[in-house]
Amino acid sequence: MRFEATPIPGAMIVAQQPISDERGSFARTYCRDTFAVAGLDFVPVQESLSKNRARFTLRGMHLQTAPHAEQKLVRCTRGAVFDVAVDLRPDSPSRGRWFGLELSADNGLSLFIPRGVAHGFLTLRDDAEVFYLIDVPYAAGSATGVRWNSPVFAIAWPSAPAVISDRDSQWPDDA
């Protein structure tokens, strides 16, 4: 695995380094020791899978608050998504900044999202799947978010959403 910093401290792009031969390829997508060497204390306790039927489905911007604040490793296992992180940490030097990139089954990239950073994505193809490793169990009472099109963050989405939940369209502009 190769780790690349983003403009949001603690958020990292994680690239697979596959080994290929005549059978195909093999790559590690998570290793506790390798993450620790990269300075990331991340031990997943939950896996989640988001299946999305239609292109331009938007999910986000989500996070869990303390005491259930979570870290996530997110990758697209089918199709492609525009994946976004927004720094909501009060004392962060990048508070209010966002970072986005394409995650796809083809490019094999993952995005590590630290605690206090909201996450969301817009599908770029029909039938996109997003796989999550999460370090704390989901706690509905700690779930919150910010609006995907908040002028506070001015995320440059590649398209307006065609499908979005009522909850995601009604989050506040800021946390």
Cis preceding-peptide flag for 12 (omega within 30 of 0): no
Of 62, 68, 119, 138, the catalytic one is: 62
What are the DSSP E strand ranges found in 97-149? Answer: 98-104, 109-113, 117-123, 128-134, 143-145
Burial class (CB in 10 A: 0-12, 13-18, 19+), 83: buried
Of 30, 68, 132, 138, the catalytic one is: 132
Q: What's the one-letter identity of residue 56?
A: F
Q: Is 138 annotated as catalytic?
A: no
Conformation bin of residue 140: beta by default, left when phi > 0, alpha when psi is -120 to 50: alpha
Residues 29 and 117: their CA atoms lie apart, in Å, by 21
What is the chain's percent helix, strand, coil content, to nearest 5? 5, 45, 50
Residues 154 and 147: their CA atoms lie apart, in Å, by 10
Q: Is 62 annotated as catalytic?
A: yes
Which residues participate in catalysis according to the annotation? 62, 132
